[in-house]
Structure 1
Amino acid sequence: MPRTLGDDEVRAAVPMRDAVKAVRDAFTELAAGHFTQPERLVFGDGAVLVMTAHHAPSGTAVVKTLSVRLDRDPAILGTVVMAGTATPLVADATAVTTLRTGAVTGVATDLLAPAGAGRLALLGSGAQAADQVRAVATVRELREVAIHSRTTANARALAKRLGEEFPAVSFRVAESVEDALADAEIVNCATSSETPLFALSALPENVHVNAIGSFRPSMRELPTELLATASIVVVDQLGAALEEAGEVIKAVEDGVLDRDAIVELGAVLPSPPAVSGRTVFKSVGVAAQDWAIARSLAAHEE
C-alpha cells in the first residue's frame, strides 16, 4: 500500500521554484493537447470536487478528491492519487492544492507583471495566502508586501511568519483594501468573497492582478469594470472559467468582456505578450496543475 505524503514531505520534495517550472511545463503541454482533462465533477454546490487528468505521453493520470468547507481551517481536505507510475502515489490534497495554486500564480506573474515589479498587495490571509507570496517571490524580487484581511489577527500572524521566511522583504498589515492597493505593482486575491474586493478606482493604472479565490459562479473577487478595461485577461482554461469563475461569467453575461478576447495561459506561454496598463489572471484550478505536482513527487520518490 502506498503511503500518503503529508505537507512537509510534499514541500521538501517540490520547492516552489520547482513547482512553478513544473506547472509552466504542464500548461504548455495542455495547450499542445497532451492531456485528457474532463470538467471537474462538482457535488453539493461545491462541497465535494473531483478532478482528473490523463497525460498521454507518459501514460500517467491523476485524480484529486476534495471536501470543501469555507468555515473550516483548512477549508480543503482530500487526497491526490497518481497512477501509471512505478509506485502509486497518494498525497495530501491541501498541500498539493496550495502549492500548485501558488505555482500557477507564479507562472502568470512572470508572464504578465513588469520585470521590475516588487510591491505586492495580498488580499486574504487563509490557507492559500502564504504560497501566493512564495510564488511571486520566486519570479520577482519582492521589496514590499502589504497584507489585508477581514481578520486582522490572521494578517498579522501571516506577516510575521513570512517576514521570518523572507527577511529582505518588508511586510506590513494594511488596515483597508485601499491602503494595500495604493502603490501595488502586483495584486494577489485569495479569498472566498462573493462580492468584489475593491473598486476599479482603487487600483494603480499599471498593475498585474491575480485572482485565485473564487471557484463558484456565485463568488467574485474582481470588479466587472476591471475585466472590461484590462489590457489582457488570461485564464487557466476557458471552459473552466466560463463554468466556475463568477467574475468572468458576469463580465461575459453583461456584455463587457468578449469570450473570444479571453486568453488561455498555455496558449501565450510560448510567445509572451507585450503588456501594459492593468492585466488580469483568473484561475479556478485545473487538474493538469495537480498532475504537475504529483508527477514531480513521483519522480522524487522513485
Structure 2
Amino acid sequence: MPRTLSDDEVRAAVPMRDAVEAVRHAFTELAAGHFTQPERLVFGGGRVLVMTAHHEPSGSAVVKTLSVRLDRTPAILGTVVWTGDGAPLVADATAVTTLRTGAVTGVATDLLAPADAGNLALLGSGAQAADQLRAIAAVRTLRAVTIHSRTAGNARKLAATLGDEFPAVSFRVAETVEDALADAEIVNCATSSGTPLFTLSALPEQVHVNAIGSFRPSMRELPAELLATASVVVVDQVEAALAEAGEIIQALEDGHLDQAELVELGTALREPPKVSGRTVFKSVGVAAQDWAIARSLAASVE
C-alpha cells in the first residue's frame, strides 16, 4: 500500500534549505536532458491542472493533480504521487506546491541577487507568500522585510507570523507598493493579479525581482518595461513560460522582449549569466520541481 503524507509530514520531512538544494539539483538535471516532462495539462480554464515528469536516469516519476480555486482557502487542493523503486508515495499537493515554488525562488535568488542583499519587498500575502520568504531567507541573510497586499489585514497577520519565526528580521506593512519597493534589494511577487503590480520607475536601479504568482496567459505581475530593460530574464522553462506566463507572452507580442533573450534556470545554473542593475526570474512551475520534493520525501521515509 502507498504511504500517504499530510501537509505537516511533508514540511517535517523536507526543511526549506533541503528543498532549495533538491530543486537546484532538479534544474541541473532538466538542463542536462534527463527528464521527460510533457506540457502541463489544463482543464476548466485553469481550475484543474495535471503535471508529470519522468527522471530517466533513476526511472522515477511524479504525477501531480491540482484543483485551483483562487476564491477558496486553501486555493490549491490535490495530490502528488511518486513512483520509484519502492512502494508509491502519496503526498498533500498544497504543501508540496508551496514548498517547491518557494524553493525555486530560493535557487533563482541565490543565482541572481547580490550576495549582501537583505532588504526584501514581499508583494502578496496569500498561501504562497510565507514559503517564498522562507526560501529567500535560506539563501540570503535578511535584515528587513516590507509586505504589501491588497488586503492589509492579511499582510499584518503574515508579518506577525513571520516575525515570530524570524525574530532577527524587521517586518513592516506598507500601505502602497511604492513605499514597499523604495529600499528593496529583492522583490518577490506572489499574487494572482491580471495587471502589473508596479511601474518600472518605482523600482530601485539595483534589484532582483521574482514573480511566481501568475500562471495563466491572462495574469500579469510585471511591467513590460522591466522585462525589456532587465540585464537578464530567467524563466524556469521557456516552453512553459511561452504557454502560461502572461507578462512574458504579452512582452513578446508587443516587441518588448525577444524569445532569444529568455534564459532557462537550468542553463543559468550551469553557465551563470553576467548580471547588473535589475534582474528578473519568472516562474510558472514545472513538474521537475515536484519530482525534487517527492524524491526527498521518498528518501526520508525509506
State the TM-score, normalized to the length of structure 2. 0.99
Question: In the alignment, which residue of structure 1 is the partner of 2:60?
Answer: 60
- State the Cα deviation string for residues 110-157 of structure 1 (Å, max 9, x = none): 000001000000000000000000000000000000000011111001
Distance 1:80 1:28 in 2: 22
- Partner SS, residue 45 of structure 1: helix
Q: Deviations over 1:225-282 (max 9, x none)?
A: 1001111000000000000000000000011100011000000102322211000000
Q: Which amino acid aligns with 1:30?
A: L
**Alignment match, 1:115:** 115
Distance 1:195 1:256 in 2: 16
Task: Tell me whether 1:187 sits opposite 2:197 in the alignment.
Answer: no
1:148 touches 1:177 (CA, 8 Å); kept in 2?
A: yes
Q: Confirm or deny: 8 A CA contact 1:5 1:91 kept in the other structure.
A: yes
Q: CA RMSD in A?
A: 0.6
* Inter-partner Cα distance in structure 2 for 1:173 and 1:255: 36
Distance 2:255 2:17 in 1: 38
How far apart, CA to CA, are the structure 2 residues paired with 1:116 and 1:273?
Answer: 18
The aligned counterpart of 1:203 is 203
Quote the residue 2:2 is aligned against. Answer: 2
Instruction: Name the counterpart of 1:147.
Output: 147
Q: Which residue does 1:44 correspond to in 2? A: 44
Alignment of 1:137 with 2:133, yes or no, is no
**8 Å contact 1:74–1:127 — kept in the other structure?**
yes
| Cα distance in 2, alignment partners of residues 116 and 85 from structure 1 | 42
Distance in 1 between residues matched to 2:178 and 2:6, nearest whole Å: 37
Sequence identity percentage: 83
Residue 74 (structure 1) shift? 1.0
Aligned partner of residue 284 in structure 1, secondary structure? coil
Q: What corresponds to 1:173 in structure 2?
A: 173
CA distance in 2 between partners of 1:6 and 1:263 (Å):
35
Any conservation in 1 of the 2:3–2:88 contact (CA below 8 Å)? no
Count of aligned residue pairs for this structure pair: 302
1:85–1:298 CA contact under 8 A, matched in 2: no
Partner in structure 2 of residue 234 of structure 1:
234
Instruction: Look up the SS of the partner of 2:50 in the other structure.
Output: strand
User: What is residue 212 of structure 2 aligned with on the other side?
Assistant: 212
Equivalent residue for 1:282? 282
Instruction: Report if the CA contact (8 A) 1:117-1:140 is conserved.
Output: yes
Query: Partners of 2:74 and 2:188 in 1: how far apart?
Result: 19
Gaps of at least 5 residues in structure 2 are none
Is it true that 1:252 corresponds to 2:252 in the alignment? yes
Instruction: State how far apart, in whole Å, the 1-side matches of 2:7 and 2:272 are.
Output: 33
Q: Which residue of 2 aligns with 1:125?
A: 125
Distance 2:241 2:63 in 1: 20
DSSP 3-state at the match of 2:73: coil
Partner of 1:82: 82
Give the drift of 1:6.
1.1
Letter in 2 for 1:158: L
User: 1:11 is aligned with what amino acid?
Assistant: R
- TM-score, normalised to structure 1, is 0.99
Does structure 2 retain, via aligned residues, the 8 Å contact 1:181–1:202? yes
Letter in 2 for 1:77: L
CA apart distance, 1:3: 3.4
Residues in 2 aligned to 1:209 and 1:167: alpha-carbon distance in whole angstroms: 24
Structure 1: segments with no counterpart, 5+ residues:
none
Matched AA of 1:178: E
What's 1:264 paired with?
A: 264
How far, CA to CA, are the matches of 1:254 and 1:207 in structure 2?
24
Q: Which residue of 2 aligns with 1:70?
A: 70
Aligned mates of 1:294, 1:85 — CA distance in 2: 13
